[in-house]
Each structure stands twice: as C-alpha cells, then as structure tokens.
Structure 1
Amino acid sequence: MDTQLEEFADYAIKYAVNSGVQYCDARAEEQERKSTLIENGQTEYVRSVNDSGIGIRLVKDGTWSFCSITNPKSNEQIKNAIDESIKNSTHHAKNKKEQFSLYPNSAINKKIDYPILEKPELEKLIKIGMECDKIISDTSKIIKSVVNPWYTNNSKYFTSSEGSQILQNFSDVVIEMIATAHESGLTQSVNITEGGRGGMEQITNKAQKSAQNITKKASELLSAKPAKEEKATVVMNPDFVSLLTHEILGHPSEADRVLGKEMAWAGGAWWKGRLGEKIGSEKLNVFDDPTIKESLGWYHFDDEGVETKKTTLVKEGVLKNHMQNRETAKTFNVTPTGNMRATNYRFMPLIRMACTCIGNGDWNVDEMIKEVKSGYLISNMKIPSIDMKRYNWSISCQYAQKIDNGEVTDLLRDVIVMGTAPEFFQSIDACGNDFTVRPITNCGKGDPMQSMIMGNGGPSIRGTATVKSVN
C-alpha cells in the first residue's frame, strides 16, 4: 500500500471528525489486475489494470453519506469531497425518521498478509491458459474453447473515527473456462471456474484436470437425451449445491434484504420474520464463514472493521440468524457477523455473503444414490431464475443423469430443476460427506449494482424437486 494513500485516509478521518460528524470510516485500496483471454488457440487480449482510491463513509445529523476519490493527489481533494458529503447528509436528514445507531466495535490496529505459496505472474497465467485451451481445442466435436485466467493483487487499508487501522494484503487467482461442442445441429457447452485466495497454487494442475472434464462432458452431451418433466428424488452434486445455497439460502440471509432495505436484483427474503422457526429438515445446516482459508470469501476484517467469524444461519432445520452489519445488528439485538463488503472503494459496502455453505453430512454419496429407486443425479451449476422473495426457484444444471434402481444410467441434457424453497428444504433427507467450496466470481447486488467474488459450497444433498428439459 502506498503510504501516501494511507495518509490521505487518516486525514479524511481527522478532517471529518473536526467537522462534527458522528462517525466516519475510510477505505484506501490499491488493486493490480492482470488477465488474458484465449479462444481456440489465439490470445484475444492480455490486459493489465491498476486502480487506487479512497471511499469515505460518514454520518452527519444521523444520516449516511458516501464519497470516493480515485487516485487522490492532495488533502484539498479529500476536504472538498467530505464537505460535499456533509452537505448531502445535512440536507437529507430533514426527512429521516429513524434514529441512527451502530453496534459498538473495538478499535483494531493490525496488518495481515495472506499466504501465497507461488507468486502470481502473467507469464505463468498465460502458460496455464494455453495448456487448458489446447486440452479443450484438440478434442473432436469441440468447436470453441474460451479460457479466461486472471489474478489480482490487493491492498486494503481501513481506518475509522473509532480508532481502527487495519491493513490487509492478499491475492486472488482464478481461471474460467468454457468448452462448446457441436454435431448434427446440436450445440452443448460446459463451463467451470477454479481458483481461490492465494497464489498460482490455486489453479496449477487443478485447471488442466477441469479442462479435460468439461471437454469430455460437452462432447458426451451431444448424444444425451432430454429429460421428461416429473417431480422426483434428486441428488445434487456440490457444484450445483453451491449455487442453490447462494441463491435460496445466502441472499435471503442478508439482513438488509430481510428488512426490505435492499431489494434490487430479486432482493427479498422468503423467511422474513421467521427466526427461531423450522424452515427445513433436521438434515439442513447452513453457515457463513469468512474464515475458510483460500476461498474467495476469506478475510479477517470486513469493510467496517468488524472481525470475522463463522455464523450459524440454520441449525437442524431451524432459522437461527441472518448476516448482520453494525446497523442491522442493533435492529435485531445481535452481534455483527463481519459481512459488510464493497466491490471496491468506489462503492458503499453492503451486507454480502463471504462463504455461505450447507454443512457436511455423514452419507457416502454412492450410498445416497443406491437408495434412490427412480430419480436424477444433478451436476454443476448453470443459470438461476428466482422470484423476488427467493421462494420460487428454478436452476438449470450443466448435465444430469437418470437414476434407476440405485444405478446411474442415461446422461441428460438441457435440464432445469425447480421447486419452492420451504418444500425443497423440508424434503432433504441426506447430506453427503463430500463437502466442497466453489468459487463464485460474479454475484450482483445493490443499485448501483456491485459485482462481488465469494465462496459457496456444501456436500451432495438428496431431496425432492421437479425436473424437466429446457426444450
């Protein structure tokens, strides 16, 4: 972190306090991002972007205001931005009905360097990308390979009027791949994302194996059958479960959505007002955990300086908690959970998932399948479609397989899985022992929309849902 950027953030706090604000925090951030896009053996681009700036939140007359400055050059810039923010707060305070209150937070002074085993470098990134592209492109029936590896080096400094000064330095390495096969007028695509918080070790070897898997499956899907529509027993693999968890358990657990304060992008909560009630079977345990190392949702302090911890959201089917910031925690009379995050310094932080998962079970997956007389094995996430309360849901999978008398049989293409949240979660009767965390790189929330990276995961789970073909 450029020491001058830290000094600007410290000056912002000092000036805001001297201007009579009730509260102020500043986030100074630097990011270096390097990426490449490879399609069918050709490098479409190699991109390098550097970004730095400061985001400043403050409360004056009980009203929040926010400003950001890209690549600030002087204290005068900081002063002018804060003056304007104070004017905005004072103006809008006239219409404010609720009293401002924040859950108390300890002053923290800490520097954290997240571990990296192998430093990310562009040349290494391109090499792995080209290897994966060759694996995909050299396979018969494959008509298009798309490989997008990228990494970021990040430095985030948080300081507040309460005395916190927290510096976190970390890197993220990710590779996104798509294999598209075509034959006799039919086209099938399979994609995968690999990566995590750390260095090149997050994708080395893992990416090549995944490239082989998606290529093989895309080709096989050309001869797969469509599914007939029926309500049936389904066994969902961890990759599919991660998206299901994200959409139907994670987003409704964000307290601002529960309170109806953030409704953009299908932003309601189907279990509003149901804390302490049974919302799923006794097999259902759900948590959010920013302390899971190497996941894209791993961090020690959130964007309002709250130390992170594992939060139980659902225990044995009973709704126990929501994800809270310091303001909503006062409303619910609980402690903050460390889930306040912004895409970068340009945005106000929102309550966001870190690494939301269904808890591991004790079932061997093969045994889960053997007990199914007639059903489906659902594999890998694709596209969700959710109503405003996240009550009615449908999620397409990349492929499925029929289960007949405990045996996995026909491969199926273009499959959608549908249900209602309470009915499906009540139907879960088995959770596997194959818990896996998957990287999510494009979660949208807020207005203006913020795209966020995080982890989601779980084991294989068994329940009841409607299965049908897209066509």
Structure 2
Amino acid sequence: MDTQLQELADHTIKYSLDAGVQYCDARAEEQERKSVLIENGEIEHVRSINDAGIGIRLVKDGTWSFCSITNPKSKEQIKQAIDDSIKNSVHYAKNKKEKLNLYPNYTVKEKIDYPTLEKPDLEKLIKIGTECNKIISDTPKIIKSVVNPWYTNNSKYFTNSEGSKILQNFSDVVIDMIATAHESGLTQSVNITEGGRGGLEQITKNNKSQNSAQEIAQKASELLSAKPAKEEKATVVMNPDFVSLLTHEILGHPSEADRVLGKEMAWAGGAWWKGKIGEKIGSENLNVFDDPTIKGSLGWYFFDDEGVQTKKTTLVEEGVLKKHMQNRETGQIFNEKPTGNMRATNFRFMPLIRMACTCIGNGDWNVDEMIKEVKNGYLISNMKIPSIDMKRYNWSISCQYAQKIENGEVTDLLRDVIVMGTAPEFFESIDACGNDFTVRPITNCGKGDPMQSMIMGNGGPSIRGVATVKSVN
C-alpha cells in the first residue's frame, strides 16, 4: 500500500477524535484490475484499471455519517470531508429517537499477505482465455464463444478510533465463460464462472478452465436436441453448483441481520423467518453455515470492514434456526457477537452485512445412491437466474440444464427448466445431502442503496428434496 494513503487514513482517525466524534474508522484501499474479453477467437478489449481512495465512517451524536475520497493528496482534503460528515451527523441526530451503540470489539494490529502460488499476469491470462475460447468455438453447433478472464490485486488498510490497524493484501482471479449453440431456430446458452482468492492457480489447477469450457460447450450443443419438462411437483436432486445459488438466495440473504430487522425492505427485501431463532425451519438434514475462513474462496478474509475477526458461524443446525449474520450495530441489538460479515464493494461505499461463504453442510450420501432411490424425479444442474420474493419465502430458480430420473436411472436431457417452491416446504422436504461438498464463486451479488456489487463464495453438496419443475417454453 502507498505510504501516503496509509498515513492519510491514520490522520483521519486523529482529526476525527480531535473533532469530538464518538467513533471513527477509515478504509484505505488500492486495487489494480486487469481483464480481457475474447469473443469468437478475437480479443475485443484489454482493460487495466487502477483505483485508490479512503472510505470514512464516523459517529457523532449517536448517528452514522459516511464519506469517501478518491486519490486523496492532502490532510486538508481529509479535514474538509470529515467536517462535512460531522455536520450531516449532527443534522440527522436532531430527529433520531434512538442513538446507535456498537458491540465491543478488541484492538487488532496485524498485516496479512494472502498466499499466491502463481502471480497473476495479463499475458498468461490472455493465453488461458484464448485456449478456452477455442475449445468452445471448435465444438459443433456453437455459434458464439465469449470468455472473460480477469484478476485484481488488492491492498486494504483498516484503522479505527479504538486503535486497530489491519493491512490485508490479496489477489482474486476469475474466468467467466459463455457457450451459445444454435440450430433449426433454437438457441441454447450455457455459462460458468471459475476462480477464487489466490493466484492463477485458481483457474489453471487440473486444467479447471479448459475442462469447464469443454463441458459448457458440449452441453450447449446437446441442449439443442433436449426436451422441455412438463410441469409437476416431484423429487429433485440438485447438484452443488445449483445448490450454491439456492443457498445464496433463500438461506444466505435472509440470514443477514439488517434484512431481518427490516432495514433492507425498501429496496432489497427482508426475511420470512424474522423472530424464529430457536425454531425448526427445515428437516434435520439441513445444516447451514457462513464461513469466511474457507481458503481460496472469493469470500475468504481474516478481518471484515469493521475490523472484526472472521469465524465460521452456524446459521441452521439440524433444521433449527440458530443465528443471523451480525455487524457491531445489529450485534448490540440482538445481544450477539458480530460475525465478521460487514463488507463494502470498495472504499466508495458504506459497509453492509454481506455473506462471505454461505453453504449447506456436507452429508454422507453417495450421489449415485441418492439418485437410485428416486422413482420419478429430476437431476437439476448448474445455476442460472433466480427470482425470489421480498421475504425470501417464494423462490424460483432456473438451471442450465436438467435430466429426468426414472426408476433410479438418469434419462432424458431437458432444457429451459425452472425449479420452484416455498422456503419452509422445500427445507422440510430435504431428506439427503451428498458427500460432494463444493464451493462455487459468486461475482455479482447486489445489495444496498446505492447498489453495491459484491464477490463471495457459496456452496454445498448435492441435495435431495421436493419442488415444482417446469420448462419456460
């Protein structure tokens, strides 16, 4: 991290305290991002972006205020921003009935360099992207191949008025791929994202990207001759990739305490299980956790944007709702320790309670055995598009493809399939979880006003339950 930027963050704390605030924290951040877009064998563009700045939160008269400064160069810029923020807090505090309190947190002074086995490099990124694009393009019936590999090098320095000083340096490497096939008036697309926190090994290990490119291209081509599914309520076996999005939408988001409190209802929704801590909300096979300590996940970090150390948090245990994800403010309200889930997209935004790596827990079932017990059902594979109501109660998620299960055997390939249900009914129907636990990358989760896009991990094993299945066409 640039020394001047770090020094200005430290000055932010000193000036704020001298100005009489109750609390202040500053996040100084630098990010280098490089990406390449390759379409049908041609490089459409190569982009390189460097970004730096400081985000400042403070509490004056029991009220939050936030400001950010891009590429600050002087203490005078810091002073002006803080003075304006203090005026905002004082103004809004006049009409605020309840003053905020923060759950206590201990002081931390630490520097963390996350491991990177193979340093990200644009030239290598282009090589990998070109190889994957060719694999997709060379597959029969493919008319469009789009590959977008990218990486970021990040340095984040957190300091607050309680004495914490935390520097975290890490890289993220991701590749997004889309294969589109067309024949006889029918078009089918299959996409996938690979990657994680670390170096190029996140997309190159065991030829991960090339294998995924081959898989999506082949599947897009095969879907041209696939059948639509008839609408019926049936047993479904969902693979880990599909489960990761389902977990994200109907387990992760409603576990964020700000949603439970209704603070997100105006633009992003709430939680149907408000007030149900300690109650049964699913079958005994349902275990859910959020874990920012899973190495290599896009949701892996040691300290959140409040300086709270991360840990695994059990959200649901054997079908019983146990906890929510908490920040220091909601933790005080719920009388629960903060869970280390307070994060912002970058320094320009106020941190929000966000999933890190929310997952359904592993089971001991062999997936083939799960399928063999199904007389009439569906194997649901790979996430696509979710549609969820405001309280995360009614849900509908499309998949990349599905297959019919008849008398324990996987048969017809099916296209344009949507899976639907209600959260409590589906959770209660889960009767088996596989031993194939997998964490998948999520790169575009939106929340907040103004909207923030966040990267994270989500995952789980294959699971078996009951839901309504139909094709959109």
TM-score interval (norm. to shorter): over 0.9
Distance 1:159 1:41 in 2: 46
1:135 partner amino acid:
I
Distance in 2 separating the partners of 1:307 and 1:98:
28
SS at match of 1:203: helix
Matched, 1:379 2:357: no
**1:368-401 per-position Cα deviation (integer Å, ceiling 9, x unaligned):** 0000000000000000001000100000000000
Is the contact between residue 61 and residue 99 of structure 2 (CA under 8 Å) also seen in structure 1?
A: no
Residue of structure 1 equivalent to 2:256? 254
- State the distance in 2 between where 1:435 and 1:97 align: 47
Residue pair 1:434, 1:459 contacting (<8 A) in 2 also: yes
Q: CA deviation at 1:267?
A: 1.7
The alignment's TM-score, normalised by the length of structure 2, stands at 0.99
Tell me, what secondary structure is at the counterpart of 2:370? helix
* Equivalent position SS for 2:403: strand
Which of 318, 324, 327 is 1:325 aligned to?
A: 327
Q: Residue in 2 aligned with 1:394?
A: 396
Contact 1:264 1:446 in 2 (8 A): no
Q: Deviations over 1:390-413 (max 9, x none)?
A: 100000000000000000000000
- SS of the equivalent of 1:222 reads helix
1:266 CA drift (Å): 3.5
The offset of 1:334, in angstroms, is 0.8
Q: Post-superposition shift, 1:317?
A: 0.1
Preserved contact between residue 67 and residue 81 of structure 2 (Cα < 8 Å) = yes
In the TM superposition, 1:191-230 aligns within 5 A as 191-204=191-204, 205-230=207-232
Post-superposition offset of 1:270: 1.1
Report the counterpart of residue 339 of structure 2 in structure 1.
337
How far apart, in 2, do the equivalents of 1:235 and 1:150 lie?
33
Q: Distance in 2 between matches of 1:106 and 1:333?
A: 17
C-alpha offsets along residues 203-248 of structure 1, whole Å, 9 cap, x if unaligned? 0121000000000000000000000000000000000000000000
Question: Contact 1:391/1:420 (CA < 8 Å) preserved in 2?
Answer: yes
Q: Which amino acid aligns with 2:165?
A: Q
Any idea what the Cα deviations from partners look like across 1:308-357, whole Å, max 9, x if unmatched?
Answer: 00000000000000000001001111100000000000000000000000
CA distance in 2, matches of 1:227, 1:325: 43
Match of 1:363 in 2: 365
Q: What amino acid sits opposite 2:28 in the alignment?
A: A
Note if contact 1:53-1:68 (Cα within 8 Å) is conserved in structure 2.
Answer: yes
Separation (CA, whole Å) in 2 of partners of 1:428 and 1:371: 14
Say which of 291, 294, 302 aligns to 1:292. Answer: 294
Are 1:65 and 1:89, in contact at CA under 8 Å, matched by a contact in 2? yes
> Relative to structure 1, is the Cα distance of residues 462 and 170 closer, same or farther in structure 2, using a 3 angstrom cutoff?
same
Whichever residue aligns with residue 76 of structure 1, its letter is: E
Using the alignment, how far apart are the partners of 2:269 and 2:359 within structure 1?
Answer: 19
- Change in Cα spacing, 1:265 to 1:178, as seen in structure 2 (3 Å) is farther
Give the Cα separation in 2 of the matches to 1:345 and 1:88. 19
Please give the alpha-carbon distance, in whole angstroms, between the structure 1 residues aligned to 2:56 and 2:43.
39
Mapped to 2, the partners of 1:310 and 1:202 lie a distance apart of 22
Unaligned residue ranges in structure 1 (runs of 5+) = none
Alpha carbons 1:266, 1:387 under 8 Å: kept: no
Partner of 1:430: 432
1:459 alignment partner AA: P
Structure 2: segments with no counterpart, 5+ residues: none
Separation (CA, whole Å) in 1 of partners of 2:265 and 2:312: 25
Shift of 1:160: 0.1
Aligned length: 471
State the Cα distance separating 1:264 from its structure 2 match: 5.0
Matched, 1:117 2:117: yes
Matched, 1:418 2:429: no
The alignment's TM-score, normalised by the length of structure 1, stands at 1.00
RMSD: 0.5
**Runs of 4+ more than 2 Å apart:** 263-266
Is the 1:234–1:463 contact (alpha carbons within 8 Å) kept by the matching residues of 2? yes
1:263 Cα offset (Å):
2.4
**Which secondary structure does the structure 1 equivalent of 2:225 belong to?**
coil
Kept in 2: contact 1:237–1:461 (CA 8 A): yes
